[in-house]
Structure 1
């Protein structure tokens, strides 16, 4: 095999990989922040319907006395027993684990 043919094969493989990756991203437009929000919403839906939700798409630094990490901040609202309940949360940007939940 000639070196020129080998390099052409590698470049073709890389180009095909890039095209497949872009196609996959278009088919699955959920960003990490949206995935975190969906996870939190699913947890709340186990207790009843949700009235509304939001999330900040840009992660921010979160620190408590021990830990420091990037988090997404968001909120959930629902009607329970005829009254509006609102919650704000911070979820680890990498794992989606809720690290703070505050009822407003």
Structure 2
């Protein structure tokens, strides 16, 4: 067995593993369920929630020069006799709420 060939092969394998790990780290997303849970917890501080939904697949969003992959979804609730519906945008990498707006 030639030690030079062995060391060269081991180095190539290690370098490949590092590149694969870096590639996976760039495309790792929070689950849609976790993002929806974050939104629901924020809304529950103001009252109960009647329903909620989220698109399971992240989609691209360009806003003020930033390109992000985001989850989009919605929440509905009843305050008094009035039903309110909101849509939200959550960062797919962190689950953080980026935008919430009321739909009419």
Deviation at 1:35, TM superposition (A): 0.4
Please report the TM-score for the alignment, with normalisation by the length of structure 1.
0.68
| Aligned mates of 1:32, 1:68 — CA distance in 2 | 19
Deviation at 1:99, TM superposition (A): 1.2
The superposition leaves residues 28-81 of structure 1 with CA deviations (integer Å, 9 ceiling, x where unpaired) of xxx700000011001100110000000000000011123110000000000012
| Aligned mates of 2:88, 2:47 — CA distance in 1 | 18
Deviation at 1:93, TM superposition (A): 0.1
SS at match of 1:96: coil
Q: Counterparts of 1:4-15 in structure 2 under 5 Å?
A: none
SS at match of 1:57: coil
Q: Counterparts of 1:1-104 in structure 2 under 5 Å?
A: 32-104=31-103
| Aligned mates of 2:84, 2:60 — CA distance in 1 | 26
Deviation at 1:102, TM superposition (A): 1.2
SS at match of 1:75: strand
Q: Which runs of 4+ in 1 moved over 2 A?
A: none
Unaligned runs of 5+ in 2: 1-29
Q: Which structure ranks higher in relative contact order (CA pairs < 8 Å, sequence separation ≥ 6)?
A: 2
Please report the TM-score for the alignment, with normalisation by the length of structure 2.
0.68
